[in-house]
Amino acid sequence: MKLATGAADGLPGTHQRVRRTPANPPGLSGGERAGPPPVVTQHLTSDFYGTSCPNVFKVVRREVFKALQNEMRMAGSLLRLHFHDCFVNGCDGSILLDGSDGEKFALPNLNSARGFDVVDTIKAVLESECNGTVSCADILAIAARDSVLLSGGPTWTVLVGRRDSLISNQSGANSGLPSPFDPVDQIITKFAAVGLNTTDVVTLSGGHTIGRARCTFLTNRLFNFSGSGAADPTLDSALASQLQSVCPQNGDGNVTVALDQNSTDLFDNHYYNNLINSKGLLSSDQILFTGDAAAAASTKNVVQSYGSNSSLFFSQFASSMVRMGNISPLTGTSGQVRGNCRVVNSN
């Protein structure tokens, strides 16, 4: 398996694909950031664990690296966990809580949210190093950044200091998370509800340059689209034929396909060129470029800009991830630092 090289945190990666070994994962020679003063946004700061758990970033990077060596798909899964966590009651680790009434079992997450075992592993190592110190919400934020970086994408300074929620909001997940079937205006509305703008919509959708999607989210475009008896006309015909063989009508909806058919495991801007060439897999992706003229007017130009300028996409993706990570965090004495990310502390 190949992973991207990355410089120390806060410095650009080389974005090359090379073989590494678990004994030497990238970016582990130093702390989160050396030299410049810490970054602070509201109650979150880059050096929150500077004295209480100074190796937190090294531990998370190492464990994410191991997980990606085992299965590269996990990068997209960990990125998605952070996204789905932040969109429901803020970035508070609520998606990690077990229980049939929790967010894990909301429709957008059922049989698709994954990576919980990786989070458990990271948490166990951190508990052995600095018991009761690092929140599960912060683990998600750091793991998401490292997943992107190790897949060849940009890096950014992860602000930390979040605490974990005491509850999980299944109804909020069902209503607040963007759906692959939502129209553009509804997606924009859901992003606006958590303080993100239309540029963030297009930018964070670019996370679909890695990861996989279940057939159940694609078949609406492959067969009898809008009652037409044919595939979605905005889907490239050759790709539609290919996908129909992998995701047959009335087939197993849990079969998965790569979201970016051109560079499956590499974080790059091919996602946007896919949209321009009618090769976006999910309806919610493709409509950013070919949706209703009025609704897509605010997204199409951004897609074109990112498709022609990878550096611009990387820069904006990093900024949007920081903004998303700042959604309604629990800080101070609110919430708790869970000892086990799956359950609320008993005392």
Q: Is 320 annotated as a binding residue?
A: no
Is 292 annotated in a binding site? The answer is: no
Answer yes or no: is 147 a known binding residue: no
43 in a known ligand binding site: no
Cβ neighbors of 37 (< 8 A, separation 6 or more) are none
Which one is catalytic: 15, 43, 82, 84? 84
Rounded Cα distance, 78 and 75, in Å: 5
Q: Which residues 6+ apart lie within 8 Å of 201 measured at CB?
A: 187, 188, 191, 288, 299
Place of tokens 């932040």: 86
Question: Is 268 annotated for ligand binding?
Answer: yes
Maximum separation of any 2 CA atoms in the chain, in Å = 62
Going by C-alpha positions, the residue among 132, 139, 136, 142 that lies closest to residue 97 is 136
Please indicate if the annotation marks 285 as binding a ligand.
no
| Ranges assigned E (strand) in 182-324 | 212-214, 256-258
Is 94 annotated in a binding site? The answer is yes
What type of residue is 121? T
84 is catalytic: yes
HEC states along 127-152?
HHHCCCCCCHHHHHHHHHHHHHHHCC
98 is in an annotated binding site: no
CA Rg value for the chain: 20
**Per the annotation, does 92 bind a ligand?**
yes
117 is in an annotated binding site: no
39 is annotated as contributing to ligand binding: no
Residues making up the binding site for Ca(2+): 85, 88, 90, 92, 94, 103, 209, 260, 268
Residues making up the binding site for substrate: 178
Residues making up the binding site for heme b: 208
**Mind telling me the catalytic residues?**
84
